[in-house]
Structure 1
Amino acid sequence: MAKHLLIFSLAGILTLTNLFLIPSQKEVRLFDGKSFKGWEGDTLTTWRIENGSLVGGSLVTKVPHNDFLCTQRSFSNFILKLKFKLSGTEGFINSGVQFRSKRLTNPAYEMIGYQADLGDNYWASLYDESRRNKTLIGPDAALVKKILKPGAWNDFEVRAENRRIRILLNGQQTVDYTEPDESIPQSGLIGLQIHGGGKAEVAYKDIIIQELP
């Protein structure tokens, strides 16, 4: 009888333990390194695939306007990791990662929503694209200067957890922002930007997302 009670007790403990376990979400690659599967945008003139990377813009001719390559589905809470390399020869050299965003209809090439910004004076800051049109929070310039690898591959991470947003550059947190405006949508597309107005080129690779509860 004691043996049976022990087995029953252990089974009960395991059952209770499983009830309180939160299933871990797997990391998923958003870009397969060889196709635009899962993405949409101007893949004829602005965006291309080179050496396993998504590349936008040009170092030869000026990018006429902002352009975005977007996921075909929306995301709410997540950890997004990727590598980027931004370079340019003339004009405004800037890019960024849109999230919790949507495409506009006028102009159709623009997006509205949060942007983890990239470029001089904007590195690893949080910008509100086509909505409040301002930097919501910026990093310490000395920190960015210390950790940024200009013209080389950099690790970039966006953590969006409910109304809290954090950005990390090469493993160092640059901003920590909590959205006070409850009318701002907290779900939407992820988009890769090449900013207009400069001879600039951006490349993104190893794009991985882990969705959170």
Structure 2
Amino acid sequence: MTRWATLASALLVSAFAAAGAASGADGWITLFDGKNLDQWQGDGTATFKIEDGSVIAVDKKDPKAVAAYLVSKESFKDFEIRAEFWVSDDANSGIFVRNSDPKNISSKTGYEVNIFDTRPDPTYGTGAIVPFAKTLAVVKTGGKWNTYEIVVKGPKFTITLNGVKTVDGAENTDHAEGPIALQFGQGTVKFRKVEIKKL
């Protein structure tokens, strides 16, 4: 390898390190590994803190805010997400994708992959995509660690929760691209690992 090639390679590695994202040989990029929030920005409604390898929201600054959000700095179009989360039985949370308005996260500006075991209408509770894809199976997530696998390619969405498929190829074209947002709403909500692979 020439001196210039070695220098270019070193600069590339340095750039990835500076960004705080680790990209594996299989194409997976680590957005959160329990150590830092370099790939995320808060929405201004809470302070986000890392405890025991997990991120939580503390000290909500706006008492009128229903929820606080961590929003990815990068925007994504077609992708697969693996995310590990822990919620209390009474939690209301979710993972929002393709948010067309990052400053106004909601199910109207993006897609909410719901985490809400006690939702009065369970058809759009945990495992569903609010408001267009009902869950195919009831999966309770309170009081334990869980893994979401979210695949979004073109208009198609497939969701797997703890190995159970809850959405299978549902289609919607309302939002084409945008950042990811982690919701900290009601109850205790923790995320400890978030990875993404562009498709």
Place the TM-score, normalised by the shorter chain, in its bin: 0.7 to 0.9
Q: 1 CA distance for matches of 2:111 and 2:150?
A: 11
Q: How does 1:1-213 map to 2 (within 5 A)?
A: 26-42=27-43, 45-56=46-57, 64-87=65-88, 93-103=91-101, 105=103, 110-111=105-106, 112-120=109-117, 121=122, 122-127=125-130, 135-140=131-136, 143-145=137-139, 148-176=140-168, 177-179=170-172, 181=173, 184-195=174-185, 198=186, 200-212=187-199
Q: 2 CA distance for matches of 1:78 and 1:25?
A: 13
Q: 1 CA distance for matches of 2:51 and 2:85?
A: 13
Q: What TM-score, normalized to structure 1? A: 0.68
Q: 2 CA distance for matches of 1:47 and 1:190?
A: 16
Shift of 1:138: 1.3
Which residue in the other structure is 1:16 paired with? none
Q: 1 CA distance for matches of 2:85 and 2:100?
A: 22
Q: What TM-score, normalized to structure 2? A: 0.73
Contact 2:95–2:112, Cα closer than 8 Å, also in 1: yes
Contact 1:25–1:211, Cα closer than 8 Å, also in 2: no
Structure 1: runs of 5 or more not aligned: 1-23, 128-134
Q: 2 CA distance for matches of 1:162 and 1:42?
A: 27
Amino acid at match of 1:126: I
Greater Rg, structure 1 or structure 2?
A: 1
Contact 1:57–1:202, Cα closer than 8 Å, also in 2: no
Q: 2 CA distance for matches of 1:87 and 1:63?
A: 22
Structure 2: runs of 5 or more not aligned: 1-24
Amino acid at match of 1:205: R
Amino acid at match of 1:115: E
Residue-by-residue CA offset, 1:6-64 (whole Å, 9 max, x unaligned): xxxxxxxxxxxxxxxxxx86111001321110100057834211111121358xxx884
Q: 2 CA distance for matches of 1:67 and 1:186?
A: 23
- Equivalenced residue count is 163
Amino acid at match of 2:128: S
Q: 2 CA distance for matches of 1:44 and 1:75?
A: 23
Contact 2:31–2:39, Cα closer than 8 Å, also in 1: yes
More strand by share: 1
Amino acid at match of 2:180: I
RMSD: 2.4
Partner-residue secondary structure (3-state), 2:138: helix
Shift of 1:74: 0.3
Which residue in the other structure is 1:20 paired with? none
